[in-house]
Structure 1
């Protein structure tokens, strides 16, 4: 059975999953990893979802306020042994639901062009490609997406 926990960035299960994520990204991002890593610190992320299967943490994601109407999706990850079960989409839906409850109108996010599975995940969940924003403007290896929330 899948359960979801709403928590924050101080949660130990979230921290453990993010360590796995960072190790994965260090390989896939290659030389660009240090650039992206500087924007992925966990400091004070208030809105974190951790997904569990039989009380074992298997996936996570977070949202962070970007502006008065927008949440930015951060730190999406599914452990390697739990991939292919739709967990990332379920975590993303939980994050979107939470953003709506908090009266936000849209979610944005950045992912790397090398994160093929992530790009597919966001497209499958109705995120549309937008111009790169903020620190990602002009970065050719970045793809930015947006979804308007209902």
Structure 2
């Protein structure tokens, strides 16, 4: 497994984001249930992306964007189904954290959803803890927000 740093225009990242959206639609019962989140998951402001490759195939992705000075929001974390439970999520989060630290950020935040129990377990194992819902997620009770200081 090889890790590379790219940006939000990378077609491999865009393709994995589509698969993430399909996965989320399956979990919550269709895109209509996720429409209010779509505006927060666009790729225009994503400049920092980590891809995990097996050979030439992109098997996992994650990214971040600046939320406030010193703070980045983790976005679009996804591991292809056939590679889950193989350490890809852990590697991805470690690489995102290292990149954020290298760029001078001191805090990571993220939003996930109650149905994404596997994701929440991963984030907790990586040192994240639940915080009050921030910003656009403040009035979304199905959201769970998390934070980690670097």
Fold match (TM-score > 0.5) = yes
Unaligned 5+ residue runs, structure 1? Answer: none
> Take 1:106 and 1:36, find their aligned partners in 2: how far apart are those partners?
23
Matched, 1:29 2:9: no
> Which position in structure 2 is the counterpart of 1:139?
140
Matched, 1:19 2:12: no
Aligned residues: 148
* Two-structure CA RMSD over aligned residues (Å): 0.9
Greater CA drift, 43-52 or 23-32: 23-32
> Take 1:29 and 1:109, find their aligned partners in 2: how far apart are those partners?
19
- The answer to whether the Cα contact below 8 Å between 2:45 and 2:65 also exists between their aligned partners in 1 is no
> Which position in structure 1 is the counterpart of 2:117?
116
Unaligned 5+ residue runs, structure 2? Answer: none
> Take 2:91 and 2:4, find their aligned partners in 1: how far apart are those partners?
12
TM-score computed with the length of structure 2 as normaliser? 0.95
Greater CA drift, 22-31 or 132-141: 22-31
> Take 1:96 and 1:70, find their aligned partners in 2: how far apart are those partners?
11
TM-score computed with the length of structure 1 as normaliser? 0.95
